[in-house]
Structure 1
Amino acid sequence: MKVLVTGASGFLGSHIVDACVRAGDEIRVLVRKGSDVSHLQTVPGIEFAYGDLRDIASLRTAADGIDVVHHSAARVTDKGSRSQFREENVLGTWRLMEAARSAGARRFVFISSPSALMGVRDGDRLGINESEPYPPRYLNLYSETKAAAERLVLAADRPDFTTVALRPRAVWGPRDHSGFMPRLLAKMMTGGLPDLSGGKPVYASLCHCDNAVEAAIRAARSDGVGGRAYFIADPEPVEVWSTLADLAERFGGVPPVKRVPLGILRAAAFATDMVWELPPLARRWSPPLSRYSLALLTRSATYDISAARRDLGGPVVDHEAGMARLTAWINSIGGVDAYVRKVQQS
């Protein structure tokens, strides 16, 4: 197949490109001018299309002759105003989908997120499946706009244009310099990460990058997936704080020990979120703390992946194998100190 990959210069998008190569696809990538394409330039036979999700003309050019779109690009930072998030995550997805459909593409694989279901008042949620409804109020703009984009994608499913949404949770693995795991590891290397568990276990479904991209490749080829969303995760959930302690031990960092009262943190996160609703502030800086970032570390969130196992096949990498791959990659780029420097620069 001839595929278009958006977000290809990013962490997950670059792994989707690699997986498409292994699957024998012809690959075109949509990247912004000025993006870091150093990895993509090592991929033989790749075709570059330069453009932007805000530029419909560039999207039409990128989609010309394409069979399948893997849409991984999104505003995932916690910096930005409501209009910026809507422009990139919602309208950008709609423009790309319209360009793909008009150009004759047959399938649109949307990289969504379980964050599309994160509500303000949620507590611990264990083993939820795809019947879980969207919340009435979202935890942040990222959650709100990913949900809106996902709804657009699923509603666009037609017999001649299959749409499917994948919800990988907390994607991790080699080449990630800005996700949750590298940022937390960087803090632990300096002893700067407190224990926010509140003295209770916090369980989470994670998703190794190889499990996410395998689901994407199969979603581009599987029958019966049209108009559906799927949770994608590693075979078993982990306990967050013991996993972080293991990560610190593995790389010589300082595990989280000092506990901070959650009530104080929640009040601070709420106040920060209120202040960061001011567009001039939101556009320029990321908040030092948010209810969303706090929820990721203090709320249990695990997902039932039986639907994905049934329709897309099971995950291919378990946690231990994934950690071994991550360790080997970190060692290959000069060790944990070089890794942390790269994280701090991103």
Structure 2
Amino acid sequence: MNVLILGGSGFLGTAVAQACVRSGATVRVLSRSGRATAGEGVRGDVRLPRLGLSAAELARVRTETTHVVFCFGSVSWTSGPGEVLETHSSGTRSALAFLRELPHLRQAVHVSSLLALGRSEGRITNRELYTGQRFRNWYEYGKYCAERLVRDTPELPVGVVRFGPVLGPDPRGGRPDTRHGLPMAFPHLLAGYPVHLARRGDFPCWITDVSSAAEIVLKALDKPIGRATWTWFDPALPTLGEVFTEVCRPWGVVPKIVEAAPLGRFTRLIGERVGTPRELADYAEPWLDLDVDVLKEIPEPWPVPDPDYLGATGEALRAGTASTETLRAGAEKRALS
């Protein structure tokens, strides 16, 4: 395989690049910085025609690429419409156009998100995308638009792999990013602030570890997935409450998880001022009714998630943070902003 990973310098993209290199594939990682921790780094931009590649790089990539991974886009749940639509919608459209120029393309994989399903009603399988759902934020809508574009391009061999939140130590070797998504809650909990959740977080959040997620993308390239949709999450189905408890464990902290029912709308209105990061407020209740049998559509053997990837996330965060006082100061600053 000669794999081109679009957005391969990010958290999951780096893990995918590393998994592909371990498998013996030739790997190119396209990013705006042109840097890569695994494989060859290539400077480009998915929002530009022909990925913004130089003439020499364009000729080389066209001639040699056999497999492509779409792993780009902002992961912030609070991104505005401009950033989201430019990256997820326009970027996906540009990437799909580029695939048409690859004479030796065998398989491409679009990394999507379960959040593309928004607030869906009823049991969800791999078949559904539009269910009449409402979207909690522009991120969800952007992921929906990107997957819609992929599904509406039947002439190209592009499959879809959906994930929920992906955790674990940063494969780039840095501190886990707590600026976006579910990890925004970690500094609050570690600093002793409460997080308000329905049923005290006793519901699945469809989480997995970055290593097994990367292996699923590699499997989708290699099997290959064709035009199918796969969904992957930790088969152990840890609840949101368990996720927070395990991430806090290496710190010797028991997270303060408060039943959200008495607060409800109040929690959403004042968000961080009562200890709930604004990105988490709309996810304080069960997210969707996902049929767990979707896992059976992925050919076995399945990768085995690291048994302590949640604790390892907490350890990596601890190694990169001076103290709980630092976390508290950061949480207070965000609450007052």
Q: How does 1:63-142 map to 2 (within 5 A)?
A: 63-64=61-62, 65-104=64-103, 105-119=105-119, 122=120, 128-136=124-132, 137-142=134-139
**Corresponding position of 1:156:** 153
CA distance in 1, matches of 2:201, 2:78: 30
User: Residues 260-310 of structure 1, C-alpha deviation per residue, up to 9 Å, x if partnerless?
Assistant: 5122124557xxxxxxxxxxxxxxxxxx625xx323232244633544444
Q: Is the 8 A contact 2:160 2:230 kept in 1?
A: yes
2:8 alignment counterpart = 8
Say if 2:4 and 2:27, in contact at 8 Å, map to a contact too: yes
- Is the alpha carbon distance of 1:301 and 1:337 closer, same or farther for their aligned partners in structure 2, counting shifts above 3 Å? farther
Residue 281 of structure 2 aligns to a residue whose secondary structure is helix
By how many angstroms is 1:205 displaced? 1.6
| Structure 2 counterpart of 1:140, one-letter code | N
TM-score (normalised: structure 2): 0.79
Change (3 A) 1:190 1:320: same
Alignment of 1:189-228 (within 5 A): 189-197=190-198, 201-223=202-224, 225-228=225-228
Q: Say whether the 8 Å CA contact 1:219–1:312 is kept in structure 2.
A: no
SS of structure 1 residue aligned to 2:3: strand
Structure 1 residue ranges, 4+ long, deviating more than 6 angstroms after superposition: none
Listed as ranges, the matches of 1:26-45 within 5 Å are: 26-33=26-33, 37=35, 40-41=36-37, 43=38
**Using the alignment, how far apart are the partners of 1:247 and 1:81 within structure 2?**
29
Report the counterpart of residue 304 of structure 1 in structure 2. 291
What is the aligned counterpart of 1:170 among 165, 168, 181?
165
Which residue identity is paired with 1:171? V
Q: Which residue of 2 aligns with 1:313?
A: 300
Q: Deviations over 1:102-143 (max 9, x none)?
A: 122222100000111113xx47x7x73223342333222111
- How many residue pairs get matched? 308
Counterparts of 1:319 and 1:22, CA distance in 2: 17
The 8 Å contact of residues 236 and 318 in structure 1, kept in 2 or not, is answered as no
Deviation (angstroms), 1:168: 0.8
Distance apart, 1:55 and its partner CA? 1.5
How many angstroms does 1:54 deviate by? 1.7
Query: Counterpart of 2:274?
Result: none
**Alpha-carbon spacing, 1:96–1:199, altered in 2? closer, same or farther (3 Å):** closer
Q: Is the 8 A contact 2:108 2:158 kept in 1?
A: yes
RMSD: 3.1
CA separation of 1:118/1:185 partners in 2, compared to 1, >3 Å: closer, same or farther?
same
In the other structure, the counterpart of 1:289 is: 278
Q: Which residue identity lines up with residue 49 of structure 1 in the other structure?
A: V
Change in Cα spacing, 1:305 to 1:78, as seen in structure 2 (3 Å) is same
Unaligned runs of 5+ in 1: 270-287
For residues 323-342 of structure 1, the aligned pairs below 5 Å read 323=310, 325-326=312-313, 333=319, 337=323
How far off is 1:330 after superposition? 5.5
Structure 1 residue 143 corresponds to structure 2 residue 148: no
Alignment check: 8 A CA contact 1:233 1:315 kept = no
Change (3 A) 1:238 1:185: same
CA contact (8 A) 2:66 2:106 kept: yes
Normalising by the residue count of structure 1, what TM-score does the alignment of the two structures yield? Answer: 0.77
Contact 1:203–1:301 (CA<8 Å) still a contact in 2? no
Farther-moved stretch of structure 1 (317-326 vs 173-182): 317-326
What's the CA shift for 1:48? 1.8
Give the gaps of 5 or more residues in structure 2. 171-175, 272-276, 332-337
Identity of aligned residues (%): 22
**Counterpart in the other structure of 1:274:** none
Paired with 1:80 and 1:329, the residues of 2 have a C-alpha distance of 26
